[in-house]
Amino acid sequence: MGESMSKEVMKAAVLLGPRNIEVRELPVPKVGVNDVLVKVRACGVCGSDIAYYRRGRADVPPPIVLGHEFSGTIVELGETAKKLGILKEGDRVVAEPVMACGACESCKKGYPNMCEHPTVLGVTVNGGMAEYCLVRYNYLHLIPEKLSFEEAAFTEPLACALNGVRKLKLNPGNSAAVIGPGPIGLMVVQYLKHSGASPLILIGTRDYRLEAGLRLGADYAINVREKDSKYYAEDPVERVKELTDGKGVERIFVATGNLEANQLAVGIGGARSITVFFGGAAYEPTHAISIPLWDSTLGEKEYVFSWLSPYTFPEALHAIEAGLVDVKPLLTHSFGIEEAGRAIETAEKRLGNALKVQIKIS
């Protein structure tokens, strides 16, 4: 078993209630038949972690260890993984956190992101904000040699984003807009640029994020909130039309749950545009937007939604390895596990112009 044999307890950041995380000693998880024990090295803070931190629970009552965007090293294999021989102790891996049951109707139809009985790391079971985490053997992906643990920990959010990018059906030369220049939006900007989107417009509310997007491939930036910004547009719909010869944009990716931003997406699309809503309504089930039926019918516009990462992890790993998406500029803040609460609050409040925040575990 190597490293974990000498260690019976581990440090873990445990969510106990609203804005209440304590670092505690927990037993190192026992490996079951289908499990693999991973020593966590880097774990990203996601918007869902922030939401769970605010409300004091994930999909199960506390206590629970959050964290699902993580990479690490295998320290013990369960019986199934040993028999298959596709993984070994010491392998560097990234975890795919939504582990589908494989037995429900959705799984059998090939839609694991619609699984009716998923096991989700950091949501229904303990996740990666700990020294060790159990992952089912078939939900691990080998990290390419050239990638660091920190880079590999971006795989999960990028894999989710690429599920949405597929739905854009982008053709080279399509005009495109990304709304929401957070880590997801900035990864999508890079991927769309490499895929031939032109012009590529980035829309947001903070200049430091918009300028990061311009450095990473966006052609134009629009700030919809800060009136003193040189990118400010009082009427962003008209500004988009100016940048697209009056036509409106052809492909729109909404990388934020902000309600106004999602409504804006409906207004900037031109004829035969495709809009992908990715932001998840900011985890507010009652949120709704309005779609004009007549205009959308005449323009044959498409509105689609994206959830999780069905079969997109290999593509995401390759995109990072090949440099199609450079994640290094996005990692702005790192904390030790003892400061997990501070890490989440830094991401939540965008302290110090935060983009991506990670917890590093040595």
Asked if 56 contacts 15 with a C-beta cutoff of 8 angstroms, the reply is: yes
Asked if 319 contacts 191 with a C-beta cutoff of 8 angstroms, the reply is: yes
pTM for the model? 0.97
Helix or strand (DSSP H, E) at 348? helix 340-349
CA distance 190 to 205: 19
Angle between helices 155-168 and 313-321 (to 10 degrees): 100
Q: Give the model confidence (pLDDT) of 116-140 as tens digits.
A: 999 999 999 999 999 999 999 999 9
Per-residue pLDDT at 340 exceeds 50: yes
Confidence of residue 1 (pLDDT cuts 50, 70, 90): very low
Q: Give the model confidence (pLDDT) of 10-46 as tens digits.
A: 999 999 999 999 999 999 999 999 999 999 999 999 9
* 297-302, Cβ contacts within 8 angstroms, sequence gap of 24 or more: 298/271, 299/269, 299/270, 299/271, 299/272, 299/273, 300/271, 300/272, 301/269, 301/271, 301/272, 301/273, 301/274, 301/275, 302/272, 302/273, 302/274, 302/275
Per-residue pLDDT at 218 exceeds 70: yes
CA distance 93 to 39: 10
Is the bond leading into 112 cis (omega within 30 degrees of zero)? no
CA distance 214 to 218: 5
CA distance 65 to 164: 28
Asked if 145 contacts 126 with a C-beta cutoff of 8 angstroms, the reply is: no
Q: Give the model confidence (pLDDT) of 303-338 as tens digits.
A: 999 999 999 999 999 999 999 999 999 999 999 999
Sign, CA torsion 73/311/279/254: positive
Neighbours of 85 (CB within 10 A): 8
Asked if 98 contacts 125 with a C-beta cutoff of 8 angstroms, the reply is: no
Q: Is 37 exposed, middle or buried (0-12, 13-18, 19+ CB in 10 A)?
A: buried
Q: What is the per-residue pLDDT for 78?
A: 98
| Closest C-alpha to 355, from 223, 225, 208, 155 | 208
Angle in degrees, CA 177, 46, 112, rounded to 5? 85
| Closest C-alpha to 304, from 295, 291, 287, 315 | 291
Helix or strand (DSSP H, E) at 24? strand 20-27
Q: Give the model confidence (pLDDT) of 60-90 as tens digits.
A: 999 999 999 999 999 999 999 999 999 999 9
